[in-house]
């Protein structure tokens, strides 16, 4: 299974549109255009097809964590307990 397949399956499973994926990548300061993103979802025999690299998939997964859970709290700033 290629990175393109993983990205496609996550997009379908999470019902994400191209805009959503661009925003998720933006959460981890990774900029990509919608046309570049669309190249990953094309068929392999299409002339504009591009392989999704490890860096793009890694940044998407890290952005997805931030999108679903929220940003990690900074170290040293812990929540005060109600005791």
- Map out the domains of the chain as residue ranges: 3-69
pLDDT of residue 71: 76
In this structure, which long-range contacts are made by residues 25-28, counting pairs with CB atoms below 8 Å and at least 24 apart in sequence? Answer: 25/56, 25/59, 25/60, 25/63, 26/63, 27/63, 27/66, 27/67, 28/59, 28/62, 28/63, 28/66
Residue 50 and residue 39 in contact, taking contact as beta carbons nearer than 8 Å:
yes
- What would the pLDDT profile of 21-63 be if each residue is shown by its tens digit? 999 999 999 999 999 999 999 999 999 999 999 999 999 999 9
Distance CA(52)–CA(41), nearest Å, equals 9
- What would the pLDDT profile of 58-70 be if each residue is shown by its tens digit? 999 999 999 998 8
DSSP state of 46: S
pLDDT of residue 4: 94
């Amino acid at each position: 299974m290629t990175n393109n397949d993983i990205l496609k399956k996550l997009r379908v499973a999470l019902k994400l549109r191209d805009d959503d994926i661009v925003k998720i990548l933006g959460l981890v300061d990774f900029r990509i255009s919608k046309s570049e993103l669309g190249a990953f979802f094309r068929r392999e025999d299409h002339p504009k097809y591009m392989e999704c690299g490890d860096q793009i998939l890694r940044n998407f997964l890290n952005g997805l964590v931030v999108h679903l859970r929220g940003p990690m709290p900074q170290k040293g700033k812990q929540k005060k307990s109600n005791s």
